[in-house]
Structure formats: structure tokens, C-alpha cells
């Protein structure tokens, strides 16, 4: 839980008076959100961390997440109705030209972790547009994220082309091995 209520800062964007969950970032920023938005717009929110954690002052569930406030604030904007271009533009203006690619990569990792699907397309566009700003090590990190799930199909093709001169042994270290026994290759919704 947060260090103390007095030391926490409240997010100016996410302070819903009718919130039914409070999320604290690693840097102790408080986000007052709605579980319905989290449930509908994330595929892997850690609900098990929420059980039995109730803030008596607010009578809401409370959870501490390991990401800093800037990551959570950006991702939470994608679980509420907002224009993607405005969110991305704000993100670009927040960081220097040199820091932006690394910050975007941190966001991509968190979006993948919590499966914030509404972030995948804008992230793919931004990663693709800034690909020339990454070194080979960062491109391999991006490839690892891209290969883990099929969220970024166009980016996968661009990355494979950009890394074509790299040793296959280096690339194969980041791409997960397929498991023909357990891989579900069927088409259609899960059963």
C-alpha cells in the first residue's frame, strides 16, 4: 500500500468522485477509477491484488501497481473515451526528443502486461515512426514484445526487415519458441 495517505498525490486526470477503485503508482500517485472501465478495456489487470483491500475512508478497493504515475496515467487514458491523437501529442510534448523512444518502449511493455488493447494501434504507429531512433538492442526488445503477442503485425514486418543483417542466433533469443503441442492454431473465438 502507499507509504501514507498524506504523502500521496492525487492524479488531476483521474479523480472520479464516484470511483470504486483507487490505484497507487510506484511513486505514490493516487488514481480514482472505475472497475468497469478497467474490466472492459484491459485483458490482464491484476484483480487478485485487489481482493480484500478496502480503503475505509472511501469504501473502495485499493491496489498498488509497480509502474510510475506517468505510465499509468497514459495507459488509463486509453481505458476511458479520449482521442488517441491528443494523448499521443501530450506524451510527445512531455518528453524530450531523445527520451521519447525509451518512454514509448516502457509504455509498450506496460500496455502488453495489462493488455490495454486500445493502446496497441497508436503504439504501433508511434514505434514504427520512431524506429530509426532505436539501436539494435532496443529493436530486439521491441521485437520481443511484438513476438509475444500479435498486437503489432505491421511493426513485426518492419522490424524483421530492419534486423535482416543481424545474426539469426541473436534474433532467436528474443522470439519465444513455439510449442506445437499446446499452441492453439484454430481460427475463431476461444472455446
Q: What is the per-residue pLDDT for 75?
A: 92
Q: How far apart are CA 162 and CA 164, in angstroms?
A: 6
User: Higher model confidence: residue 5 or residue 174?
Assistant: 174
CB 153 within 8 A of CB 128: no
Residue 188 has pLDDT above 80, yes or no: no
CA distances to 11, 21, 103 from 16, in Å = 10, 10, 27
Look at residue 127 in the predicted model and tell me its pLDDT.
80
Grouping H, G, I as helix, E, B as strand and the rest as coil, residue 24 is strand
Output DSSP code: residue 45: -
Cα(130)–Cα(97) distance, integer angstroms: 10
Q: Euclidean distance between the first and final Cα of the chain, in Å?
A: 37
> Does pLDDT of 59 surpass 90?
no
Q: Is the CB of residue 146 less than 8 Å from the CB of residue 152?
A: yes
Every domain of the chain and the residues it spans: 7-69, 83-175
The Cα–Cα gap between 33 and 11 comes to 10
| From 21-25, 129-133, 150-154, 158-162, the region with the lowest mean pLDDT | 150-154
Q: Which of 135, 134, 155 is nearest to 145 (CA)?
A: 155
User: Per-residue pLDDT tens for 103-152?
Assistant: 888 888 888 888 888 888 888 888 888 777 778 888 888 887 777 766 67
Pairing of strands 29-33, 9-15: parallel
Least Cα distance to 105 among 141, 67, 77 occurs for: 141
For residues 63-75, average pLDDT: 92
Biggest alpha carbon distance in the chain? Answer: 58
Rounded Cα–Cα distance for residues 138 and 155 (Å): 14
Percent of the chain with pLDDT over 90: 15
Residue 185 has pLDDT above 50, yes or no: no
pLDDT reported for residue 190: 45
The bridge status of strand 29-33 relative to strand 54-55 is unpaired
Cell matching residue 184: 492453439
CB 22 within 8 A of CB 30: yes
Instruction: Please give the grid coordinates belonging to residue 68.
Output: 510510475
Segment 98-105 shows an average pLDDT of 78
Amino acid at each position: 500500500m502507499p507509504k501514507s495517505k498524506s504523502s500521496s498525490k492525487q492524479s488531476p486526470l483521474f479523480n472520479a468522485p464516484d470511483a470504486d477503485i483507487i490505484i497507487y503508482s510506484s511513486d505514490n500517485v493516487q488514481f480514482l477509477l472505475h472497475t468497469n472501465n478497467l474490466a472492459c478495456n484491459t485483458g490482464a489487470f491484476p484483480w487478485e491484488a485487489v481482493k480484500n483491500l478496502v480503503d475505509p475512508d472511501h469504501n473502495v478497493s485499493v491496489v498498488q501497481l509497480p509502474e510510475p504515475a506517468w505510465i499509468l496515467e497514459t495507459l488509463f487514458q486509453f481505458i476511458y473515451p479520449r482521442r488517441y491523437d491528443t494523448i499521443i501529442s501530450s506524451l510527445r510534448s512531455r518528453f524530450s526528443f531523445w527520451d521519447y523512444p525509451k518512454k514509448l518502449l516502457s509504455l509498450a511493455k506496460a500496455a502488453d502486461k495489462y493488455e490495454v488493447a486500445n493502446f496497441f494501434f497508436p503504439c504501433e504507429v508511434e514505434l514504427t515512426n520512431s524506429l530509426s531512433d532505436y539501436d539494435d538492442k532496443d529493436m530486439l526488445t521491441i521485437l520481443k514484445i511484438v513476438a509475444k503477442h500479435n498486437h503489432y503485425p505491421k511493426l513485426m514486418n518492419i522490424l524483421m526487415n530492419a534486423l535482416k543483417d543481424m545474426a539469426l542466433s541473436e534474433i532467436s533469443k528474443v522470439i519465444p519458441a513455439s510449442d506445437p503441442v499446446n499452441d492453439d492454431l484454430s481460427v475463431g473465438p476461444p472455446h
